[in-house]
Amino acid sequence: MNTKSYIGFRILIIFSIILLIFLLVGQSFALINYDFLVSIGLQESVEEITLVGIAFAKGFAFGDTVIYIPLIIAGVVGLLKRKRWGFHAFFGSLAISVYWPLVHLFAIIIEQEAITLPPGKYLSFYIILPLIASYGLWGMWYLYKHQNILMK
């Protein structure tokens, strides 16, 4: 692997591990104690997103815990071992990394009457969600471009 592609690989893996930690804390733990995560600002309250919104937040937390997180873990491990299954698992996790931020961003933009977030949260979502989606798109492009050197 040349230096340029190695740097991209490291960025991809490091960002994925950071995202994985946030998902474990912010999503998986939501299945155990949602109210605690609201109290520390990692989830939204009923006043901000309604009971239906909380049901969907918990649904996403469940889906992330049983599908997204295992795909990221399998992808990172598999890519580090240069295995084809790792490539495919990681590609799948990156596709999810594009999908969910766009769903949330669109919902926040079109339903500002139903989703009543403080201005600071809106600003952070407008920054963080496009960054995560960009990571997913860039990661899929990177994997596609370098698939011959990433897998055995």
**Per residue in 68-100, pLDDT tens?**
999 999 999 999 999 999 999 999 999 999 999
Rounded Cα distance between 90 and 7, Å, is 17
pLDDT at 3: 67
pLDDT at 120: 84
Is 13 a member of any domain? yes
Is 73 a member of any domain? yes
- Number of structural domains (the chain) is 1
Q: Are 105 and 125 in contact (CB under 8 A)?
A: yes
Is 111 a member of any domain? yes
Rounded Cα distance between 111 and 136, Å, is 25
What residue ranges of the chain have pLDDT lower than 70? 1-4, 152
Rounded Cα distance between 12 and 34, Å, is 29
Is 48 a member of any domain? no
Is 133 a member of any domain? yes
pLDDT at 87: 95
pLDDT at 13: 96
Is 47 a member of any domain? no
Is 114 a member of any domain? yes
pTM of the model: 0.90
By residue range, what is the domain housing residue 101? 3-42+53-150
Is 70 a member of any domain? yes
Rounded Cα distance between 27 and 64, Å, is 7
